[in-house]
Amino acid sequence: MQPPLGDLDVDRFMARYWQRRPCLIRAALPGAQPPLSRAELFTLAGRDDVESRLVSAFDGRWRLVHGPFGARSLPARSRPGWTLLVQGVDGHHRAARHLLDRFRFIAECRLDDLMISWASEGGGVGPHVDSYDVFLLQVEGSRRWRLGPVRDAAMVPGLPLKILSRFEPTEQHDLAPGDMLYLPPGWGHDGVAIGGPCMTCSVGFRAPSRQELLRHLLADAADDPGGDDPRFTDAGSRATRRPGAIPGALSDTLTRWARDWRPRPTEIDRAIGCFLTEPKASVWFDAPTRPPTPARFDRAARSHGLCLDRRSRVAYRGRWFFINGEACAMPATGARWLRALADRRRLAPAMDARWLDDGDLVRLLRTWLGHGWLRFGSDDDA
């Protein structure tokens, strides 16, 4: 699928702009259409399994309300100065997921999600800074973006959302449908709907932080049932006269455990893959009510192939395959099919469907289908 970069060569984009500097791309996706209508977006914002926010600045007062939003709980569309933001639209809508497929020139484990905002005239979320890389694709109406490097990260105190106190934009661009602005992390930006309402798609890429990884790694190590788990003993210790104090021997042993703890290389590999493919807390999978028998699985997979559910996150590295926060060792002969599944998000129903001859692979695929992580057919059929 063609990257949505207009005339800009993808390798040039990666070398010159990605993670380095903002890039305005006029006609990045000529003829771009909203992947879903405003009414569909508003309906999604009414669901309790969808994360949504309403930001308004009526009479100069910033307000943030979290969804879900019933049909009558949003301000009138004609009222200027408000924005509805819906997170993770790719997990719920086929055309939204397809839009993300155009961004597969970046490793998918860096992908966060597709957020879509609808703003009434003058609506925006104020000048702020994100820790993510973001592609802001205009799909309806016009938005004026002002941007600049953040020299002072102080936020306006006492507000329900993070607004930069001293935003000094160095550029301003008016985006029309099909235009796109790429921003690396740390650039201040402020987008406002101009000339009427507008819709913007934000394709976000997460840059994991060290603390996030460590949290995962430590939680995994703490939960490892087979892990080495020595327990402190203090046989032979004397009666204490200061029961409130931490005994020296206890403190020394715990300090040594903390200092000497080293994850094994496999533990690190597993933790990285599980961390990078962990679904967001709001994601739920719909497991089939009746998982197919082996014979039905074989028939259906042979004639329709398999595809990943839109919400599934997968990745591979070396002898590990990761799916939705779980790790599995690559099956010996099926590894290339799993890699193909991760790279293309589907296994096509080839006439010779050779992947169906691999028993270990088929067992994994059936299990994942039973969890709702895979489906028969292609995402176009959904």
Q: Which residues of the shown chain bind ligand SIN in the complex (CB under 6 A)?
A: 83, 117, 124-125, 130, 134, 189, 191, 200, 202
Closest CB 134 distance from ligand SIN, rounded Å: 5
Residue of closest CB approach to Co ion: 130
Sign (positive or negative) of CA dihedral 369, 373, 379, 382: positive
Rounded alpha-carbon distances, angstroms, from residue 106 to 10, 127, 268, 273: 10, 27, 23, 16
Give the single-character DSSP code of 8: S
- The pairing of strands 111-119 and 133-149 is unpaired
Closest CB 108 distance from Co ion, rounded Å: 21
> Of ligand SIN, Co ion, none, which one does residue 191 interact with (CB within 5 to 8 Å by kind)?
ligand SIN
Spatial CB neighbours of 242, under 8 Å, sequence gap ≥ 6: none
Residue keyed to tokens 């009138």: 76
Under rule CB under 5 A, residue 224 binds Co ion: no
Q: Choose the binding region for Co ion from 55-63, 129-137, 172-180, 306-314 (rule: CB under 5 A).
A: 129-137
Nearer CB in complex with Co ion: 146/310: 146
Helix, strand and coil percent figures for the chain, each rounded to 5? 30, 25, 45
> Of ligand SIN, Co ion, none, which one does residue 83 interact with (CB within 5 to 8 Å by kind)?
ligand SIN
Q: What are the structure tokens assigned to 191, written together?
A: 């987008």
Closest CB 204 distance from Co ion, rounded Å: 9
Count of C-beta atoms within a 10 Å radius of residue 192: 21
Considering CB under 5 A, how many residues would be counted as binding Co ion?
Answer: 1
- Among residues 281, 359, 351, 343, the alpha carbon closest in space to that of 307 is found at 343
Q: Give the integer Cα–Cα distance in Å for 287 and 285.
A: 6
Q: What are the structure tokens assigned to 113, written together?
A: 């999600």
Closest CB 113 distance from ligand SIN, rounded Å: 12
> Of Co ion, ligand SIN, none, which one does residue 117 interact with (CB within 5 to 8 Å by kind)?
ligand SIN
Nearer CB in complex with ligand SIN: 120/200: 200
Nearer CB in complex with Co ion: 141/334: 141
Closest CB 125 distance from ligand SIN, rounded Å: 5
Q: What are the structure tokens assigned to 382, written together?
A: 């959904």
Q: Choose the binding region for Co ion from 65-73, 124-132, 276-284, 351-359 (rule: CB under 5 A).
A: 124-132
Nearer CB in complex with ligand SIN: 177/191: 191
Q: What are the structure tokens assigned to 198, written together?
A: 């507008």
Under rule CB under 5 A, residue 132 binds Co ion: no
Residue of closest CB approach to ligand SIN: 117
Closest CB 157 distance from Co ion, rounded Å: 20
Count of C-beta atoms within a 10 Å radius of residue 365: 23
Nearer CB in complex with Co ion: 130/269: 130
Nearer CB in complex with Co ion: 204/305: 204
- Among residues 48, 183, 179, 55, the alpha carbon closest in space to that of 129 is found at 183
Nearer CB in complex with ligand SIN: 202/324: 202
Q: Give the integer Cα–Cα distance in Å for 129 and 137.
A: 17
Under rule CB under 5 A, residue 130 binds Co ion: yes
Q: Which residues bind Co ion (CB under 5 A)?
A: 130
